[in-house]
């Protein structure tokens, strides 16, 4: 018994050539595609939300926006408008474009940090999003920057309400914003370098005293001027005793928020440390003090502040490693 074959038979009563049959099929497919395209909703203005402003300092503020509906069209621009007057817009306010935190067909969250603000000033901010139809704005949110005592030699500081009255810089040496790592320095050296080890270290087995404020060894004084210096061990201990420290992120940079009893705060990025050419323990903070370790390992170790997870402590650390420096001023 022969096998049975089932197949689709095309009705061709008119005995049309195959080329004409194919042409009819192509026309049919084109018609169906036209119908499908015609079902796509018309584009309209997007909708966007403005969230509460975070990480407010004397001169910066971190903003978050969210596109709740893209209006059936691609978002081609997004960001924030701000001003000291209400209802800021692209036409009458300052603007900053934002990068997406995540992208989906119709939803988009985005952030940006506004810089160059004035201390103790109230600002109004709105998120915006633009598609081919136009621009929409989120609800207006207001915030007030921290009242700072001021600047010293062009560098910003924050009063954390410490018993000593010491003021802490908002940035590391070599950085221009709180979330930047800045440069890495070996203890007592004044310049960053390409390779960190005992062979390249200038003061191995040299009996240096606490050099806070001495521009020959203190990179904060050397780079920022006589009003600035590296903190001593005792001053970092004061910071740990009278401030609250917690893990935090700023512009997607991991670090530590240090809040004084007066509510003011600074951010210490977790820049890790460098040995050789490798950055180690990124996410942890290793901050130089000006104080040597004099009990047992003089010439080899110094005192640093170590921040790791929920562990905040003074740590003896090798002088030759590259670490961060956060200056202080009186």
Give a yes or no: residue 126 inside a domain.
yes
From 119, 144, 169, give the residue that closes a domain.
144
Q: Which domain holds residue 96?
A: 47-144
- Give domain status of residue 6, yes or no: no
Q: Look at residue 184 in the predicted model and tell me its pLDDT.
A: 96
In a domain, 234, yes or no: yes
Same domain assignment for residues 209 and 81? no
Cβ distance 146 to 119 under 8 Å? yes
Q: Quote the Cα angle for 318-320-321, to 5°.
A: 75
Q: Is residue 40 part of a domain?
A: no
Which neighbouring-strand residues pair with 155?
Answer: 152
> Are 248 and 286 part of one and the same domain?
yes
208 and 124 co-located in one domain: no
What pLDDT does 4 receive? 42
User: Whole-angstrom Cα distance, residue 92 to residue 53?
Assistant: 20
Establish if 184 belongs to a structural domain: yes
Query: CA 56, CA 158: separation in Å to the nearest integer?
Result: 12
SS3 content of the chain, % helix, strand, coil (to 5): 10, 40, 50
Residue 292, exposed/middle/buried by CB under 10 A (0-12, 13-18, 19+)?
buried
Same-domain pairing of 156 and 140: no
Which among 180, 159, 173, 185 has a CA at the least distance from the CA of 239? 159
Number of domains in the chain: 2
> In the numeric block, which tokens belong to residue 116?
């160059």
Residues 251 and 229 grouped into a single domain: yes
Residues 78 and 184 in one domain: no
Residues 203 and 291 in one domain: yes
Tokens of 298: 């003089």
Query: Does some domain include residue 13?
Result: no
Q: Is 234 exposed, middle or buried (0-12, 13-18, 19+ CB in 10 A)?
A: middle
Per-residue pLDDT tens listing for the chain (330 residues):
444 444 444 455 555 566 665 666 666 666 666 555 555 789 999 999 999 998 888 788 999 999 999 999 999 999 999 999 999 999 988 998 886 544 444 468 899 999 888 888 899 999 999 999 999 999 999 999 876 656 777 788 999 999 999 999 999 999 989 999 999 999 999 999 999 999 999 998 888 889 999 999 999 999 999 999 999 999 999 999 999 999 999 888 999 999 999 999 999 999 999 999 998 888 888 999 998 876 555 555 677 778 787 888 887 788 899 999 999 998
If asked whether residues 96 and 155 sit together in one domain, one would say no
Please tell me whether residues 198 and 304 are part of one structural domain.
Answer: yes
Check which CATH number belongs to the domain holding 94 and give it. 2.60.40.10
* pTM, two decimal places: 0.60
pLDDT at 318: 86
Assess whether 70 and 107 both reside in one domain. yes
Distance CA 285, CA 277 (A): 18
Q: Do residues 120 and 156 both lie within one domain?
A: no
The domain boundary, picked from 109, 126, 144, lies at 144
Task: Determine, yes or no, domain membership for 323.
Answer: yes
Q: What is the DSSP letter of 96?
A: E
Residues 199 and 88 in one domain: no
Out of 120, 144, 168, pick the residue that ends a domain. 144
pLDDT at 283: 87
pLDDT of residue 222: 96
Give a yes or no: residue 19 inside a domain.
Answer: no
Given this model, what pLDDT does residue 26 score? 65
């Amino acid at each position: 018994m022969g096998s049975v074959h089932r197949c689709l038979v095309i009705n061709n009563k008119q005995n049309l050539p195959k080329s004409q049959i194919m042409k009819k099929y192509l026309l049919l497919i084109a018609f169906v595609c036209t119908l499908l395209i015609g079902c796509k909703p018309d584009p309209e203005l997007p909708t966007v939300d403005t969230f509460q402003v975070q990480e407010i300092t004397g001169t910066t503020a971190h903003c978050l926006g969210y596109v709740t509906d893209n209006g059936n069209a691609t978002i081609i621009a997004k960001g924030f408008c701000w001003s000291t007057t209400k209802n800021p817009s692209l036409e009458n306010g300052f603007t900053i474009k934002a990068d997406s935190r995540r992208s989906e067909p119709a939803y988009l969250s985005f952030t940006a940090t506004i810089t160059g603000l004035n201390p103790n000033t109230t600002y109004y901010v709105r998120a915006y999003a633009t598609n081919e139809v136009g621009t929409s704005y989120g609800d207006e949110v207001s915030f007030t920057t921290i009242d700072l005592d001021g600047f010293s030699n062009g560098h910003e500081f924050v009063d954390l309400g410490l018993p000593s009255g010491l003021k802490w810089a908002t940035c590391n040496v070599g950085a221009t914003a709180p979330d930047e790592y800045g440069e890495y320095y070996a203890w007592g050296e004044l310049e960053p370098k390409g390779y960190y080890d005992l062979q390249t270290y200038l003061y191995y087995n040299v009996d240096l005293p606490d050099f806070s404020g001495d521009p020959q060894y203190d990179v904060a004084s050397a780079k920022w001027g006589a009003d600035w210096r590296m903190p001593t061990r005792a001053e970092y201990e004061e910071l740990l005793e009278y401030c609250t420290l917690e893990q935090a992120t700023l512009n997607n940079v991991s670090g530590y928020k240090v809040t004084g009893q007066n509510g003011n705060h600074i951010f210490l990025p977790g820049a890790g440390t460098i040995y050789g050419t490798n950055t180690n323990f990124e996410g942890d903070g290793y901050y130089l003090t000006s104080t040597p370790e004099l009990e047992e390992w003089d010439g080899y170790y110094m005192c640093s502040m170590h921040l790791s997870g929920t562990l905040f402590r003074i740590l003896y650390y090798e002088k030759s490693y590259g670490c961060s420096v956060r200056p202080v001023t009186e």
